[in-house]
Structure 1
Amino acid sequence: MNIVNQHDYTSMPDPLTCTGRLESMELRLVRAMIFAIKQINNSTKLLPGIKLGYEIHDSCTAAPVAVHVAFQLSNGLDPEFNTGDNCTQSGMVMGIVGESGSSPSISMSRVIGPFNIPQVSHFATCACLSDKEQYPNFFRTIPSDNFQADAMVKLVKAFGWTWIGAVRSDSDYGNNGMAVFLTRAKKEGICVEYSESVLQTHSRSKIKRVADIIRRSTARVVVVFAASGDVRVLFEELILEPFPPRQWIGTEAWLTMTDLMRFNFCVGALGFVIERADSPGLKEFLLDMSPSTVALSPILTEFWEDSFNCMLGKSPAPGEITCDGTQDMQKLQDKYTDFSNFRITNMVYKAVYAIAHALHNTLCLDTNSTTHCDKYNKIETKQVLTELKKVNFTQAGYDVSFDENGDPVPRYELMNWQRSDSGGLEMVIVGHYDGALPVGQEFHLKKNITFMDGLKKLPKSVCSENCPPGTRKVLQKGKPICCYDCVPCAEGEISNTTDSPDCLPCLKDFWPNAEKDTCFPKPVEFLSYDEVLGIILAAFSVGGACLTIMTAVVFFRHRASPIVRANNSELSFLLLLSLTLCFLSSLTFIGAPSDWSCMLRHTAFAITFVLCISCVLGKTIVVLMAFKATLPGSNVMKWFGAPQQRMTVVSFTSIQVLICTIWLVVSPPFPAKNLIVYEKKIILECALGSAIGFWAVLGYIGLLAVSCLVFAVLARNLPDSFNEAKLITFSMLIFCAVWITFIPAYVSSPGKFTVAVEIFAILASSFGLMFCIFAPKIFIILFKPEKNTKKHLMNKS
């Protein structure tokens, strides 16, 4: 029923009264309490010889009325008592069963708590009532919303829904229950798009606003923690306009209400409900009504007249019908006779028995074969409260006990609203939840679940799709953590899991594949004989060596000819040998670097080139000295004969050998992996070891080359017909130009092209020396033999 408050502010207000139709569901709970008390009074084991009495009050589900009732019960101001049968403590309240709602229960507990009167609720689930500091006298036979919220979070998590909407009753039940749910959902990574409250007394505009939010939302799952009346007004508003299908997740408070199953858009609704249990004889007791017994109770009379739409035991008003006795409770279609929903009714039954066991433990003494109860013993409510905390019994196949917070062990059934064969909705149990089982094993699902729109396919409800491997999550500004963008991993990084928050760099020798989900070894690159560039350079190297050897053969066969003898044949052959070695030294730069190849390539190149330049320098000095020897009184040639020339070459070469030796001893070149030039591949190269050693070697070669160029320039205008100094000048110009160009090219060339530049410089300078110094002589020897005479060389022909 509802309460009516009318104040004119001119006189004291009247007491709060209830109006409206009797709530048949609440009547069934009252009748269940009466049934349990009658069972106990007839029992020979529980409170034998002691009769329990009761009072029934209607709170109209309103806290003010509940407070008034609580004061009335605690003060013992009852209008009348049944004082027969030696009832020694008539009117003294030993325990209260109720209230159905959390808010009225809170109000009642605050009033009766100081009097230590035990209160056992059958339907108040607010988690706040577990606080024993505020509600030390409160117990309940229905699990706390803490447990239901926890089970709901596990349900949502199990189906992979991370983007939900939340609707609650604007009451202690809804606000506290949803607060617990949202706190635990956040820990599980579940995000809430909106959280709204409704109340059946709210204005139509407020209800419509919440309905519009649900219609426009992107979350396909809606968790509703609300009382049935609040859910009803919301659904009545939603049904006025079409909206996309939604997966409803409900609580016991509304999911077991059959009158809400007329809303077909709720097909597939899921939620946890109290385990169903049948108390033997209760169904028959509820139906055991006749007009004669009903007429003795004003409440039953009101229920009878409302249910059958007739008047009982009094003259009907015009247009009304008298109850003629043909009315049959077996045929009544009402919440009172809806025995498919015996869950909450059973909670009342358990609450009565819990108080009875506490009284039994206070008043009675059990021996091996008999039980003796002292019904004249005056007891205090505090004693009953103490014993209620300890009760642990089994009744009709189910256990009853309370934990330190006054809560029972949470056991639920997972209910699913499915479409029946007739086209309507029906309640189907599709799973179980047992809080007594170990963590991780509490939740059990069946496979016959129907989801929104009556489909068997599991719907998706996420703010953002999963980020595939190769990407990472980046939160969207101003939105919950479930809303993110998938950003590809940066160069050199991978992610190999779905929804990875970060990308991890590959090891230095590895690189990601195209999908950036796996690291593979980087390809190794070096100048090899298997590639075109390596083959071309090797061919020129071998070709240059062969050409030099052929030149040496021609010179050897014509070693007695004037043109060979005139240009210091010994140095010429030594020069050809050094050029051959120069050409061949370039081959050491091709192939995979190793410890020996790295040391050999630089030292072989350095020593052979110094030997080559030393020979050229010796030939240049010989030309100059020969000119000086023709001057009167000059004896220069005796200081620069053949032995001195050999010593000069050996001395210059030995200096380079010494530099190379020091380089190899102190910090020799070594094979290394270059990971800097290219990110995606490894360059195998020879590290210099000591850069000073490398540039000292090149500097010494450059010094000899410049010296040779200077001497050649000085001898270029000598009067001989065949002046070799001119040829040396050209060769040294080419040599210096090549190596001056080499320096910036070497520094700037990446990877294997650094080696290619070095080989090119060796080949170019070697070919320059070869062609400039020996090509004219070979041409004369082979094609102009008439010029290969002493007269022609002395320009006396």
Structure 2
Amino acid sequence: MRAVRRSNATGSFSWIGSDGWSARSLVSDGNEPEVEGTLSVQPQANPVRGFEEYFLNLTVENNRRNPWFVEFWEDHFHCRYPNSSRTPYNHKYKRACTTKERLSRHNTAFEGQLQFVSDAVLAFAHAFREMHRELCHGLPGLCEAMRPTSGHEVLKYLRKVSFQGLSGDKFRFDANGDGPARYNIIHFKQVRAGRYQWVRVGEYMEGELILNMSEIQFKLGQPQLPESVCSLPCSQGQAKKYVEGESCCWHCFNCTQYQVRHPLDETQCVACPQGTVPDHARSRCQDIPEVFLRATSGWAIGAMSLSATGILLTLFVGGVFLRHNDTPVVRASGRELSYVLLTGILLCYCVTFALVLRPTDAVCGVQRFGAGFCFAVVYAALLTKTNRIARIFNAGRRTAKRPSFISPRSQLLICSFLVGVQVLINGVWILVSPPRAVHHYPTRDDNHLVCSSHIDASYMIAFGYPILLIVVCTVYAVLTRKIPEAFNESKYIGDFTMYTICMIWLELVSLYASLSGVGLTLVGEGYCS
């Protein structure tokens, strides 16, 4: 403490004192400004009842059993006791003791930790008593079973002792062989200007710490706690890198944009898993909100509005066909295939509502199957129509015999076969790769909830066969474009429908890839209309 004062470092340190030096006057007397603010842990000891009275009544004459008591007496009263042996210490005392000197509370300071000496002695006394009771069965003195006394045996009895000591406190050893954990937390503070005092500010009793922070004052008039001059606590989102060879000093470094400090190791940063980012406090990873086409969005509302309009128009046309089901116009148009075509168009519009639902495994299955199926129904009906017309007029140029497989039942069977191929393709695809709703992370900040087939180009499996039907149907439409005016339905199929659909399908893949389900919905409505 004198070295601190010589270095003009008074007030620069906050001391944590052990019981070996902190509460001793040797340290604090004359060095009060340097010791101010010290916190210390002191074993809790209570006075041993009767000891002061006993000790104050001791003299050299009545305490012959203690061979060092004379040296204590000479040092305490600074005199040479008559007839005492010469020692390296008493030769300096010129005055002879009168033997009338007496110990008193005014000239004698007692050690505050006497309770531990008393408890230690009593612990052995209780252990020996129990050992003697069990091994000697009440016989006086040491019996043969205790000659010699085994240290291992004594330890066994020592661990079991439990008694109330001379201080009034209970004593026993715990499972680790330690005595009761009772400590006082004391604090050296300036109670008022110029007056310093050790103050009890808390205690530690059997694993429980009680601390009165309002009593702690490191500097007079400065209630704030001192900060570490070695390393300040790291901020949120920072980890520690300890200085080599040190356990109390560190440097703080920032975790990267997508890292948080490890919850169990403050020296490490860990990356947040895909689909999560650090929260504002950078203390934990939080989920990125899912992004998917919601039924309440503008895209979905627009698509569903167009689909609803298309469904109403399709049902209206279907109603007109049913009303005039037996008229020559309806019969000549191939009413069976017309109904199939209207059904396919209706399914195209209905699939829209599946495309705007929140992706789930079931919804993804409906989307995967329905997207290709409804197109296959439409194009299978158109292909069957154009094929029938082409075969009729090609046969008419060569013979007057009616071509085969042109009856309504045959046409429905051909159309069903063509649609069945798409059903088979979809069925095998679903069995090989079951539809699943998955999270897709195009960038580190995105969390898209999509169907698994939307991530790669596998969705084209559903469209490959309908595209083939379109191409074949377009070829037939071109071949039959010059049929007589009375049979100009094929001409309209070619000019108005197939050529337009081919142009639309050129845009389908790019739209579908960029807008996921929205592109398919809008394109499907375009050519279904």
Residue 702 (structure 1) aligned with residue 467 (structure 2): yes
Of 692, 713, 729 in structure 1, the residue corresponding to residue 494 of structure 2 is: 729
Matched, 1:480 2:263: no
Please give the secondary structure, in 1, of the residue aligned with 2:441: coil
What do the CA deviations read for 1:361-408 (whole angstroms, capped 9, x no partner)?
xxxxxxxxxxxxxxxxxxxxxxxxxxxx9xx9x999799xxx9xxx99
Structure 2 match to 1:590: 356
| Counterpart residue number, 2:138 | none
- Report 1:627-776 matches (<5 A): 628=394, 631=397, 634-635=399-400, 638-639=402-403, 643-644=406-407, 647-661=410-424, 663-664=426-427, 667-668=430-431, 672-677=436-441, 681=447, 683=449, 685=451, 697-716=462-481, 720=485, 723-730=488-495, 731-746=497-512, 748-749=513-514, 753-767=515-529
Distance in 2 (CA, whole Å) between partners of 1:556 and 1:409 is 99
Give the 5 Å matches for 1:462-473.
463-466=230-233, 471=237, 473=239
TM normalised by structure 2 equals 0.62
Residue in 1 that maps onto 2:188: 417
- When residues 491 and 738 of structure 1 are mapped into structure 2, their CA distance, relative to the original with a 3 A threshold, is farther
Q: Bigger shift: 541-550 or 493-502?
A: 493-502
% identical equivalent positions: 18
Q: Deviations over 1:740-796 (max 9, x none)?
A: 4333544x44xxx422222223222323xxxxxxxxxxxxxxxxxxxxxxxxxxxxx
CA RMSD of aligned residues (A): 6.0
Amino acid at match of 1:591: L
Q: Which residue of 1 aligns with 2:4?
A: 235
Q: 1:492 to 1:535 in 2, by over 3 A?
A: farther
Deviation at 1:453, TM superposition (A): 1.9
- Length, aligned pairs only: 458
Q: Which residue of 2 aligns with 1:616?
A: 382
CA distance in 2, matches of 1:291, 1:732: 127
1:667 match: secondary structure: helix
In the TM superposition, what is the alpha-carbon distance from 1:639 to its structure 2 partner? 0.9
- Could you tell me how far apart the structure 2 residues matched to 1:476 and 1:552 are? 79
Cα shift at 1:425: 2.8
What letter is aligned with 2:517? V
Superposition map of 1:384-463 within 5 A: 415-419=186-190, 423-428=194-199, 440=207, 450-454=216-220, 458-461=225-228, 463=230
**Maintained 8 Å contact 2:474/2:499:** yes
Counterpart CA distance in 2 for 1:596 and 1:723 is 44
Which structure 2 residues correspond to residues 48-59 of structure 1 after superposition, within 5 A?
Answer: none
CA offset digits 1:520-539 (Å, max 9, x no partner): 77755554433222221111
Q: Residues 733 and 592 of structure 1: is their aligned pair in 2 closer, same or farther, counting only changes over 3 Å?
A: same
Aligned position for 1:544: 310
Higher deviation after alignment, 656-665 or 719-728: 719-728
> Could you give the per-residue CA deviations for residues 96-134 of structure 1, whole angstroms, max 9, x where no partner exists?
xxxxxxxxxxxxxxxxxxxxxxxxxxxxxxxxxxxxxxx
Preserved CA contact (<8 Å) 2:80 2:90: no
Alpha carbons of 1:474 and 1:676: their partners in 2 closer, same or farther (altered >3 Å)? farther
Whether contact under 8 Å (1:522, 1:680) holds in the other structure is yes
Task: Pick closer, same or farther for the CA change 1:522–1:701 going to 2, 3 Å.
Answer: same
CA distance in 2, matches of 1:292, 1:622: 140
Whole-Å separation in 2 of the counterparts to 1:410 and 1:576? 89
Give the superposition deviation at 1:706: 0.7
CA-CA distance at 1:613 after TM superposition: 1.9
Distance 1:502 1:682, change over 3 A: same
Gaps of 5+ in 2: 60-72, 126-154, 156-160
Residues 496 and 567 (structure 1), Cα distance of their counterparts in 2 relative to 1, 3 Å cut:
farther
State whether residues 10 and 34 of structure 2, in contact with CA within 8 Å, keep that contact through their aligned partners in structure 1.
no
Which of 243, 246, 249 is the matching residue for 2:17?
249
Task: Indicate conservation of the 8 Å contact 1:660/1:697, yes or no.
Answer: no
Question: Residues 736 and 518 from structure 1, CA distance in 2 versus in 1: closer, same or farther, beyond 3 angstroms?
Answer: same
Alpha-carbon distance change, 339 to 458 in structure 1, aligned in 2, over 3 angstroms: farther
Q: Secondary structure at the match of 2:6?
A: helix
Q: Hey, what's the Cα distance between the residues in 2 that align with 1:396 and 1:717?
A: 125
Q: Deviations over 1:280-299 (max 9, x none)?
A: 47668769999997899999
- Cα offsets for 1:614-648 (capped at 9, x unmatched): 332344345545654675x6437x2168x346524
Give the direction of change, closer, same or farther, for the CA distance of 1:620–1:424 in structure 2 (3 Å limit).
same
Give 3-state SS (helix, strand or coil) of 2:436's partner.
strand
Q: Does 1:261 align with 2:29?
A: yes
Residues 717, 727 of structure 1: CA spacing in aligned structure 2 closer, same or farther, 3 A cutoff?
A: same
C-alpha separation between the residues in 1 aligned to 2:41 and 2:316? 98
Distance of 1:476 and 1:500 partners within structure 2: 8
Contact 1:525 1:682 in 2 (8 A): yes
Residues 502-581 of structure 1: pairs in structure 2 closer than 5 A = 514-515=280-281, 523=289, 526-550=292-316, 568=333, 570=335, 573-574=338-339, 575-581=341-347
Q: Deviation of residue 733 (structure 1)?
A: 2.9
- CA distance in 2 between counterparts of 1:645 and 1:618 reads 11
Are the equivalent residues in 2 in contact too, given 1:674–1:683 (CA < 8 A)? Answer: yes
- Pairwise CA distance, 1:608: 3.6
Distance 1:664 1:596, change over 3 A: farther
Question: What SS is found at the alignment partner of 2:189?
Answer: strand
Q: CA deviation at 1:660?
A: 1.2
CA distance in 1, matches of 2:465, 2:275: 38
SS in 2 for 1:452: coil
Q: Is the 1:248–1:266 Cα contact (8 Å) retained in structure 2?
A: no
Letter in 2 for 1:715: T
Q: Which residues of 2 match residues 13-412 of structure 1 at below 5 A?
A: 233-238=2-7, 240=8, 244-253=12-21, 255-258=23-26, 260-263=28-31, 264-269=33-38, 270=40, 272=42, 279-280=52-53, 339-340=108-109, 342=111
Unaligned runs of 5+ in 1: 1-231, 306-311, 314-327, 331-336, 358-388, 768-797
* Superposition deviation, residue 674 in structure 1: 0.9
State the Cα distance separating 1:261 from its structure 2 match: 2.4
Q: What SS does structure 2 have at the residue aligned with 1:473?
A: strand
Cα gap change, 1:732 to 1:645, in 2 (>3 Å): farther
Deviations 1:512-567 (A, max 9, x none): 754455677775555443322222111111222333445566778999999x6898
Query: CA–CA distance in 2 between the matches of 1:235 and 1:282?
Result: 39
The 2-side partners of 1:293 and 1:474 are apart by: 64
Relative to 1, partners in 2 of residues 1:303 and 1:396: Cα closer, same or farther, differing over 3 Å? farther
Task: Specify whether residues 627 and 712 from structure 1 end up closer, same or farther in structure 2 by C-alpha distance, changes over 3 A only.
Answer: same
Assess if the C-alpha contact under 8 Å between 1:466 and 1:499 holds in 2: no
Distance change in 2, residues 1:734/1:342 (3 Å): same
Equivalent in the alignment of 2:144:
none
Mapped to 1, the partners of 2:509 and 2:490 lie a distance apart of 27
- Distance across 2 between alignment mates of 1:665 and 1:233: 91
Query: Which whole-Å CA distance do the structure 2 matches of 1:626 and 1:667 have between them?
Result: 39
| Compared CA separation, residues 520 and 727, structure 1 to 2 (3 A) | same
Q: Is the 8 A contact 1:247 1:451 kept in 2?
A: no
d(CA) in 2 for partners of 1:593, 1:584 = 16
TM, length-normalised to structure 1: 0.44
Return closer, same or farther for 1:514/1:571 CA change in 2, 3 Å cut-off. Answer: farther
Measured after TM superposition, the shift of residue 607 of structure 1 is 3.9
Q: 1:135-186: per-residue Cα shift (whole Å, max 9, x none)?
A: xxxxxxxxxxxxxxxxxxxxxxxxxxxxxxxxxxxxxxxxxxxxxxxxxxxx
Change in 2 beyond 3 A, CA 1:583/1:494: farther
